[in-house]
Amino acid sequence: MSLLAPLFLLGALAIGVPIVAHLMRRATRERVHFSATQFLEPTPPRLDRRNRIEHPWLLLLRCLAVAALAFGFARPFLREAPTSPTDAAAARHVVVVLDESASMQRSGLWPAAFDRVRAVAEELGAADRLALVTTGRRATVVFGASQWDARPPAERASRLDAVLADRLPGWDGTHLDAGVELALEELDAMGETGPAASSVEIVVVSDFADGARLSGLAGRDWPDRARLRLDAVDAVAETNAALHFLGWTTAPDGTRLARLRLAHDFDAPREYRVSLRATDDARDLAPPLAVTLAPREARALTLALPAGHDGPARADLAGDGEPFDNTVWLVPPAERRFPLPYLGSGDGADPRQSFFYVSRATSGWRDPAMTPVAGPDALAADAPLIIVAAPPDFATSARLRARLEAGASVLVLAHDAALVAAAGALAGESGWTVGPAPERDDALLGDIDFRHPLFASFADPRYSDFTRVRFWQRPAIVTPPGSRSVAAARFDDGSPAVLETPVGRGSLVVWAGAWTPTASQWVLSTKFVPWFQALARRAAGGPPPPTMAEVGDPSAAGLGAPDEALARPGIVALAPAPTPRWLALNVPPAESRSTTIPLDEWEALGAPLSLASNTPDAAAEQAEARAAVRAGSQAAARLEAGQQLWRWLLLATAALLALESLVATRLASRRMQASAAT
């Protein structure tokens, strides 16, 4: 028998209280009163060796009650006898999680991992079962327990060798939590489809690079008697240098600059050379850049793409012995530049006109970059967005209608009845009119649909306050019954503020009022430019497609490239000429860290680490000892919770106290009867 909280046994020292009480006699049992003693002071009885225990059976009951109570609080439990292999009918269930991430590309890791998996298979007996799970960004069962069972015991290891012979490490990130999660599911399936297991174990074979993800194991409930064994493999070179992409920027002269990060974990200074090359013929696009790093230093670099080079490029690092992360593939972001036709008075220097605020709002836009164009030839160029601020004539209205049906967006600043009627004609509906003038001088935006794409960026409560934007000159737009227009926003008097109507493949957006300070505070508010940019980006086809991504990034899967092209670093062609598009795929930066995950991180996640874990951590022995103590404490707590012997001890305490009360009552009754008789 063992105790979960043995310190509570100190409460058994309270047994001395009833013993002392029984030894002390504060008065004789028979008292004789006579006059000579009434002037004497009573003295308490003294405890000496001649005192005898009074009522020993009552004392025994009281001592037993105190001892049972203390023993119950100590939470005793019975240890389970270990099952020997000779009398155990159950088998061992083992799932091996093999790391196939990009960091396993380092020299010597993959052959060592192969040997570790083979060693685990060879140590199993004929009744044991094994499954193999591989993990990178995703986890996959490549050799199930059913395949293991289907082979004779002598052929199982060789069959596992054949499965591993066709596999190579990939280029994804290291998601060890996904592999362990799938291994736990496989253990559950093995328990349901085969004999009961005497022990279950997960063996993780990996380099345990510091960039591996473990967060998915937080709060995980581990099966009883489960153990997690960490089997680390060592690379030939324990240090590494890496080149990573940080982002794009533009020089004042318009030159595209690629920002890179060069880092290494060598304990001594080291010289490197970074080259910018074309991907088609590997010719240098610029002279190589020589860099000397201090011990364990990281530095940001910029490489300028030559003028006229709009295609892919690559940055190569020389001076490092591990080449898997020494190349960064580069594709500059595509520039979307469009004219912005403006039909109306186009004096960009007059702050009383809407064109003045349209010009300043679009200044500095990078995606999409739009240049406002006013005048009679504004519609000559093809543009995804057109602004109408003056009633168009019949021919212009027909051209606008054709542009709408072809997929363009038209924004009508309807500040009078003529523009409202023109908007109805563009929508292909008759009966668009202006109602009676509002009774109030000003209005606010009252009802806003934050699910609408034009207002979705303001859905966060921190940005959804439009109560400070007042509107003075606004027509009360009335649409005919059955109109296809939808109000994305309304004024607080119920009249539409922003209407949208689908026309062909395009969209007609109507804003009730002009974009001038005399009409409203809209163009002077902080909401104006983000709203206008959301409209322009939506008209241009949405956010720009990415040109840079990491291998395994889910955002790259929906771009139309085949899966095999997205499985390794390089340049992926997304669209052919005349408007080619590319995507650059690179190794996840976290894979370049050569340091290992501390065992403390596994312990903090509650993983039941096995003492057989082999990791290169310097404090591995202490961590394993702590893991063993922790595992023993967890097992003891589970045993005690299942047995709950303390409940029976508390019941025994209650029974002893009840019996003690009964005996004490009987003794007191006899004493009273004896006193009455005398």
Give the DSSP per-residue string, 613-669: -B---TTHHHHHHHHHHHHHHHHHHHHHHHH-HHHHHHHHHHHHHHHHHHHHHHHHH
Together in a domain, 412 and 491: yes
- If asked whether residues 212 and 145 sit together in one domain, one would say yes
Residue 190 maps to a domain: yes
Average pLDDT on 8-19 reads 75
Which whole-number Å values give the CA distances from 638 to 4, 70, 644, 647, in the listed order?
Answer: 10, 21, 10, 16
Residue 84 lies inside a defined structural domain of this protein: no
Residue 511 covered by a domain: yes
Instruction: Locate all alpha helices (DSSP H) within 143-198, ordered by sequence.
Output: 145-149, 156-165, 176-193
Q: What pLDDT sits at residue 312? A: 92
Amino acid 83: pLDDT? 45
If we measure between CA atoms, which residue out of 234, 228, 223, 260 comes closest to residue 245? Answer: 260
To the question of pTM greater than 0.75 for the whole model, the response is no
Assess whether 529 and 391 both reside in one domain: yes
Q: Evaluate if residue 578 carries a pLDDT over 80.
A: no
pLDDT of residue 205: 94
pLDDT digits (tens, 9 = 90+) for 616-652: 544 445 555 555 555 566 666 666 676 677 788 788 8
What is the rounded distance in angstroms from the CA atom of residue 566 to the CA atom of residue 413?
46
Strand partners for 516: none
Query: How large is the average pLDDT for residues 80-107?
Result: 74
Q: 24 pLDDT band (50/70/90 cuts)?
A: low
Provide the percentage of residues in the chain whose pLDDT is more than 70: 88
How many domains does the chain fold into?
4
pLDDT at 84: 44
Backbone angles phi, psi at 256, to 5 degrees: -80, 130
Q: What pLDDT digit, counting tens, does each position of 183-212 carry?
A: 999 998 888 887 777 788 999 999 998 889
Please report which confidence band the pLDDT of residue 87 belongs to, taking 50, 70 and 90 as the band edges. very low
Is the residue at 204 inside a domain? yes
Distance CA 529, CA 251 (A): 25
Residues 254 and 366 in one domain: no
Same domain, 411 and 508: yes
Please write the tens of the pLDDT for every residue from 55-85.
Answer: 777 778 778 878 888 777 877 877 665 444 4
Mean pLDDT, rounded, of the chain: 84
Q: Are residues 479 and 421 in the same domain?
A: yes
Asked if 344 and 449 sit in the same domain, the reply is yes
The verdict on residue 95 lying in a domain is: yes
**What CATH number did the domain enclosing 484 receive?**
3.40.50.880
Give residue 499's pLDDT.
Answer: 96
Beta carbons within 10 angstroms of residue 149's beta carbon:
13
Average pLDDT over residues 424-430: 92
* Interatomic CA distance for residues 139 and 568, integer angstroms: 17
Band the pLDDT of 678: cuts 50, 70, 90.
Answer: low
**One domain, residues 384 and 456:** yes
Give the per-residue pLDDT at 619: 44
Task: Give the structural domain span for 281.
Answer: 241-334+547-592
Q: Mean pLDDT, to the nearest integer, of 566-579? A: 84
Same domain, 270 and 320: yes
Tell me the average pLDDT across 340-361: 89
CA distances to 243, 279, 328, 448 from 262, in Å: 5, 21, 11, 48
Q: What is the pLDDT of residue 585?
A: 93
Q: Is residue 38 part of a domain?
A: no
CATH number where 587 lies: 2.60.40.10
Q: For residue 227, give the CATH number of its domain.
A: 3.40.50.410
298 and 175 assigned to the same domain: no
Which pLDDT does position 669 carry in this prediction? 80
pLDDT in tens, 449-474: 999 999 999 999 999 999 999 999 99
Give me the mean pLDDT over the 438-450 stretch: 89
Give per-residue pLDDT as tens, 274-328.
999 998 777 888 899 999 999 999 999 999 998 878 789 999 999 988 889 999 9
Residue 315 confidence (pLDDT): 95
Q: Residue 89: its pLDDT value, please?
A: 47
Strand 327-330 and strand 337-343: pairing?
A: unpaired
Could you tell me if 383 and 530 lie in one domain?
yes
User: Do 361 and 482 belong together in one domain?
Assistant: yes
Report which of residues 120 and 3 the model is more confident about.
Answer: 120
User: Where residue 247 falls among pLDDT bands split at 50, 70, 90?
Assistant: very high
What is the arithmetic mean of pLDDT over 415-419? Answer: 93
Answer whether 498's CB lies under 8 Å from 511's CB: yes
Flag whether 304 is in a domain. Answer: yes
Evaluate whether 293 touches 272 at the Cβ level (below 8 Å).
yes
Higher per-residue confidence, 86 vs 264? 264
Tens of pLDDT along 149-191? 888 988 888 889 898 888 899 999 999 999 999 999 999 888 8
pLDDT at 114: 92
Q: What is the pLDDT of residues 127-137, one digit of tens each?
A: 899 999 999 88
Pairing mode, strands 548-550 and 581-586: parallel
pLDDT score of 342 more than 70: yes
Does 162 fall in a domain?
yes
| Strand, coil or helix: 269 | coil
DSSP strands (E only) in 252-297: 256-264, 270-278, 289-293
Cα 362 to chain centroid, rounded: 36
Share of the chain above pLDDT 90, in %: 46
